Amino acid sequence: MEHEMLHHTWVNSYVILSFAIAAVASYMSLELAGRAGRVFSNAANRFWLVAQALVLGYGIWAMHFVGMMAFQVNAATSLNYPVTILSGLIAVAFVYPALLLLHSGPMNLRRLGVAGVIAGTGIVAMHYSGMAAYHMPGTEIQLNVLALIASILIAVGASMAALYLFHLLTSDWARRQTRLQLVGVKAGAAAVMGVAITGMHYTGMAALKYKVVDEMQLGVAADGIDTTLLALVIGVVSFLLMGLALTSVLMDAGRSGDVEELDFGSAAD
């Protein structure tokens, strides 16, 4: 018997929200990169580096979570919450060593590539472990290999671009820019990073198709998780956390002076 694929639609408001979370998280991670600098000989610099990894890792996870809620099917769905939480920890666990490697020596293509692969691997692992936590009884998953490969390449490429921007904002180039110029650069870069991060997510979702194998087990959407409530909670929590992070950056900047006065470290560009 020929089984049909499960029909799905997208909630545009969730798609927009997922991009907003990715862009805001990207902007905050760029701000934190400037605070962290490139030499981690004191606790303050290490704190900002950890904060950067947490903000970016959480932001990518929150974007992924809301992006999953944008995927609407007429079937009962459920989430494995421990696996979902673990997927968020995976993102942070890979982003942090990638940042450490990036700043452990002079910038070159090899260092950038390895760090990008580490961060990209974390993003891919986060995405597909998060998708594995998403259950729809009565279906089985079919894999689109080309979309899978594309999502991996986008994740690594986006990671390399983000890491290069982090390096740029801790270099002598950043010290020569005015505060307004840096804000403009960060805003533009955050928008591009937001597109890349959400692009990876939705490409990754396109790699997975759900085939109906037992219509009796499908259930109805009303019996599944409340996607509206979950998306709202994640969105509110995300912007609250980003707001707290921004407040911390601004308070620290007020104590230590403008960005031109920061200690960017003595490592060569």
Spatial contact of 50 and 23, defined as CB atoms under 8 Å apart: no
- Average pLDDT score over residue span 217-236: 67
Q: Return the amino acid letter for 257.
A: G
Could you identify the residue written with the tokens 């560009």? Answer: 269
Residue 258: the pLDDT is 46
Contacts of 240 (CB under 8 A, 6+ apart): none
| CA separation for the pair 191, 119 (Å, rounded) | 19
- Asked if pLDDT for residue 113 goes beyond 90, the answer is yes
Q: What is the DSSP string of 153-200?
A: HHHHHHHHHHHHHHHHTTSHHHHTS-HHHHHHHHHHHHHHHHHHHHHH
| CA separation for the pair 1, 260 (Å, rounded) | 68
Quote the DSSP letter at residue 2: P
Task: Calculate the alpha carbon distances from 262 to 38, 88, 99, 240 in Å.
Answer: 11, 31, 19, 26
Residue 245: the pLDDT is 75
Contacts of 186 (CB under 8 A, 6+ apart): 27, 30, 31, 169
**pLDDT-based confidence at residue 261 (cuts at 50, 70, 90):** very low
Q: Which tops the pLDDT comparison, 212 or 227?
A: 212
Least confident of 131-135, 141-145, 228-232, 251-255: 251-255
Residue 260: the pLDDT is 42
Least confident of 63-77, 190-204, 216-230: 216-230
Q: Can you give the pTM of this predicted structure? A: 0.81
Mean pLDDT of the chain: 81
Q: Which tops the pLDDT comparison, 33 or 193?
A: 193
| 223 C-beta neighbours (distance < 10 Å), count | 12
- Asked if pLDDT for residue 162 goes beyond 80, the answer is yes
Could you identify the residue written with the tokens 């997208």? Answer: 10
Is 139 strand, coil or helix?
strand
| CA separation for the pair 126, 265 (Å, rounded) | 32
What is the share, in percent, of the chain residues with pLDDT greater than 90?
Answer: 23
Q: What is the CA radius of gyration of the chain?
A: 20
- Asked if pLDDT for residue 38 goes beyond 60, the answer is no
Token couple for 15: 């798609």
- In the beta sheet, which residues pair with residue 73? 8
- Asked if pLDDT for residue 222 goes beyond 70, the answer is no
Q: Which residues of 187-210 are buried (b: 16+ CB within 10 A; e: fewer)?
A: eebbeebbebbbbbbbbbbebbbb
Is 79 strand, coil or helix?
strand
- Average pLDDT score over residue span 84-102: 89
